[in-house]
Amino acid sequence: MDIKAFMDTVAYNSQGLVPVITQDYNTGEVLMLAWMNEEALRLTLETKNVTYYSRSRQKLWVKGETSGHFQKLVSISVDCDGDTLLAKVIQTGAACHTGNRTCFYRTLEA
């Protein structure tokens, strides 16, 4: 599938955003959940540096641009409904702003 065809499958919400689950390519560990708008997705696909849309700051941000903890895109998939993305990345350093490797570091066992 080419970039245009891929982007045409994405269904953005009413705010023009789509959630992105980010997973470590090598370990399969889920690192974080964030949001992309169309421009963030396009930049991610073009540069291979994962770019998100910050809902709180209302602007684009390249993961790692201030922390140095970059995410290099390996692959990206869209789910069956087109309303969620799965990005597999090579993570440099911590993915979470708290300094933890993953944002999902608090676990309750069933």
What CATH number does residue 68 fall under? 3.10.20.810
Q: What pLDDT sits at residue 47?
A: 97
Q: What pLDDT sits at residue 11?
A: 98
Domain that residue 72 falls in:
3-91
Q: Total domain count for the chain?
A: 1
pLDDT tens string, the chain, 110 residues long: the values are 899 999 999 999 999 999 999 999 999 999 999 999 999 999 999 999 999 999 999 999 999 999 999 999 999 999 999 999 999 999 999 999 999 999 999 999 99
Q: What pLDDT sits at residue 1?
A: 85
The reply to whether 20 falls in a domain is yes
Q: What pLDDT sits at residue 23?
A: 98
The reply to whether 19 falls in a domain is yes
Rg, C-alpha atoms of the chain: 14
Q: What pLDDT sits at residue 70?
A: 97
The reply to whether 53 falls in a domain is yes
The reply to whether 79 falls in a domain is yes
The reply to whether 104 falls in a domain is no
Q: Which residue has the tokens 């911590």?
A: 94
The reply to whether 107 falls in a domain is no
The reply to whether 64 falls in a domain is yes
The reply to whether 86 falls in a domain is yes
